[in-house]
């Protein structure tokens, strides 16, 4: 299965990070993210993490990262410094992809990036399979559709999904539910 998430922020001890996610402190957040991830993701699943893996303590961040199940694909975010990226590159089951990637899935095009990116203006007359959906994080929004008025943008921030990685089929289902049944694209 294919999942997406972003902004794990392991070790980031600021209340504006862990508080909106429902945690009393960063330790509780870090522990819960690992537990929830591993309840959701199997060893043979692929997970795209759309930036901002860790802050403050790289050793702690890598220790927690190594506990996460699945094959991890990293999209670089604004807090993913060169030394952090190098640490991630050395981890088993981890591929650092770069700053963005385009994924084709069941005829849908997903442009994955850390930052919200306008891949096209929202146009209800277009079939979803004829559009590029931006899957992103960065903003720490609790609303997966926070930028839908700007284009085909879907947020996978932990705050918007109960701190759980989001399956790709859920993203497509959510977009269809929000925008109408536009899944019968002209191929």
pLDDT digits 0-9 by tens, 124-174:
666 777 889 999 999 999 999 999 988 899 999 999 999 999 999 999 999
Give the Cα separation of 78 and 97 in Å (integer). Answer: 15
Q: What is the pLDDT of residue 131?
A: 86
* CA-to-CA dists, residue 150 to 8, 135, 146, angstroms: 25, 13, 9
Measured over the CA atoms of residue 132, residue 149, residue 18 and residue 114, the dihedral's sign is positive
The structure tokens 């640490």 sit at: 87
| pLDDT > 70 in the chain, percent | 93
Q: What is the pLDDT of residue 60?
A: 98
Helices (H), the chain: 15-18, 26-40, 58-66, 82-89, 168-179
Q: What is the pLDDT of residue 122?
A: 64
* Domains and their CATH numbers in the chain: 2-179 (3.60.21.10)
* CA-to-CA dists, residue 60 to 6, 26, 32, 69, 79, angstroms: 18, 12, 15, 17, 15
* CA-to-CA dists, residue 95 to 46, 66, 81, 168, 186, angstroms: 11, 13, 16, 19, 34
Q: Is pTM beyond 0.75 here?
A: yes
Q: What is the pLDDT of residue 153?
A: 95
Q: What is the pLDDT of residue 187?
A: 40
Q: What angle do CA 164, 32, 22 make, to 5 degrees?
A: 80
Q: What is the pLDDT of residue 3?
A: 98
Q: Are 68 and 41 in contact (CB under 8 A)?
A: yes
Q: What is the pLDDT of residue 181?
A: 55
Q: Which residues of the chain have pLDDT under 50?
A: 183-187
Give the Cα separation of 58 and 38 in Å (integer). Answer: 21
Q: Residue 169: which of 110, 119, 99 has the closest Cα? A: 110
Beta strand pairing call for 153-155 and 166-167:
unpaired
Q: What is the pLDDT of residue 120?
A: 74
For the chain, the average pLDDT equals 93
């Amino acid at each position: 299965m294919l999942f997406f998430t972003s902004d794990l922020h392991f070790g980031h001890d600021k209340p504006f990070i862990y508080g909106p996610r429902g945690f009393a402190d960063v330790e509780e957040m870090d522990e819960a993210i690992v537990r929830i991830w591993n309840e959701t993701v199997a060893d043979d699943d692929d997970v795209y993490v759309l930036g901002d893996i860790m802050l403050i303590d790289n050793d702690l961040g890598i220790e927690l990262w190594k506990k996460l199940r699945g094959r991890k694909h990293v999209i670089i975010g604004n807090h993913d410094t060169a030394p952090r990226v190098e640490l991630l590159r050395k981890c088993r089951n981890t591929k650092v992809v770069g700053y963005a990637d385009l994924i084709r899935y069941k005829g849908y095009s997903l442009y994955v990036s850390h930052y919200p990116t306008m891949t096209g203006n929202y146009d209800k007359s277009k079939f979803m399979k004829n559009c590029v959906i931006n899957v992103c994080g960065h903003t720490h929004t609790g609303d997966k559709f926070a930028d839908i008025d700007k284009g085909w943008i879907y947020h996978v921030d932990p705050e918007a999904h109960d701190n759980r990685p989001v399956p790709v089929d859920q993203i497509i289902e959510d977009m269809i539910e929000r925008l109408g049944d536009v899944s019968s694209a002209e191929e």
